[in-house]
Chains A and B, each alone.
Chain A
Amino acid sequence: MTTAGSPLVVEHLGKRFERTVALEGLTFEVRPAELFGLVGPDGAGKTTLFRILTTLLLPDTGSATVLGLDVVRDFWAIRARVGYMPGRFSLYPDLSVEENLRFFAAVFGTSIEEGYSTIAPIYRQIEPFRDRRAGALSGGMKQKLALSCALVHRPDILLLDEPTTGVDAVSRREFWDLLAELKASGLPIVVATPYMDEAARCDRVALMQRGRVLAIDAPSAVGGRFPHPLFAVRGGNRYAALQLLRAHPHAFSAFPFGDELHYSDVRSDADPGTIAAEVRDWLRSGGFGDAVVTPIRAGIEDTFMALMGAPEEIGA
């Protein structure tokens, strides 16, 4: 069932590499002008999915359309209309900034001048360095050049595979600001990231783990899928408090979360305030006299961890 006008439709997509299942029964749809996030760690299948969508790899099962074109039948037509930024730095380090951009424009039969209005918001920031070798750029500037190269032929959809991996927190923020600008121009964007905090910048996200989708929702709604009452815990030695929380008879999980601990409790029907007071007393009687326990809403990372189950075993 393909909805008319969806820039991207994926149905029951599957792909194996020998014994490894890379994608299994993947189904989702991107809406017009949507900023859609694929959020998950290495091994989730994000790169395999992008390679199928950009017609570089054939799926084993299922189907996908990009801009209404089939990724297998219409591969030639898709390639001219997709902007793709692969996960690894994909530019020519010995060419200058401008030479890289001119090369990518030429491959698509266009020029920097023709594409300038599209790339301007990004390219202007690195244009002062246009004669610098791409290999000599800082991490943040490399990302901006790669994004310019992916945009120079004015694509109708943008696919970005982990554009911010290994990039510092400041440059990551700036990059997401640029994506918000592009999105405002109506361009649909699919972006993969292992950073859970970046999911909040998307319209909707698919949480992915080991080739499967765990959940698809608006970032603000993802936390509602957390299966149990959740609490933030402060006070005392973090590591020791964590052990004590895990030993609680009703514990579902306890994890460090920045300067807090997040504790969830299997008593889903009980009043959260009552649980909080009881867990606080448990900690205080265990030697954490200043423990503070507060009911909270689950975030994306809480939900991801609850849905992903146990980390991968070896030989499984």
Chain B
Amino acid sequence: MSLEFLEAFKFLKKDTFLHNLDPRSKLLFSIIISISALLFDEIVPLFLILLNLIPIIASGRLIKKWLKSVRGLTFLFIIIIILNTFFYDFSHAISMILRITIMVSAFSIFFLTVDPNDLALSLISMRVPYEYAFSFSLAFRFVPTIAREAQNIQDAQQSRGYEMQTSGIINQIKNLFPLLVPLIICSIKRAFNVAEALESRAFGSQKERTFLYTIKFSIKDWIFTIYLLLFLMLAIYVSFNFSLMPEWLMWSLPV
């Protein structure tokens, strides 16, 4: 289940409207959608926000992936429903579920459609120093490598009799050492090798850095940004004047 959930955050290159947007507009998107979700407790507005996401997800041809990630959250949802029924009310549970779905989806869209390369570039355009932006994208680049290494370590240890299943909390923690220690050591060694390679290619030279590719805000990005700002303004307006809103907006479950 957890691996499925992680798939919802892994970038894959595609040529769609959504993928071609500048990463900065997508970051703005994630933030604005999350803020608007936090503005409301009621089911209907939250549901409308969620509905609003769907055409955007569709434009990136990500509906299937999105549904998978939501499915990965069902366990969490069940816990929320149980806790809420005891301490609060069912209606509130649904609101919570909607809110979580919206926020997770918003950021999932971001990670699914932003090339880690471009992410570093967008950070730089926001005046983040190159070294920091670069470490960020470097981390991204090595995630699959480290995941593969973790698997190899697990295989090697199991081959010499290491058993994954044990009982007791203390034992389970102790049982992680044979996996974590080699992983950390190998990662440190790797870091050294990478640093060597970077130094050998003039990383950190005092010269003014140039870029082969840059990101640029296009018309589509401006339109999208204006749309997002309008959306935010509407959300704020509705939320602050909620009592003046039509009845159906305030509908909640009888429970």
Pair from one complex: no
**Chain A residues within CB distance 8 Å of chain B:** none
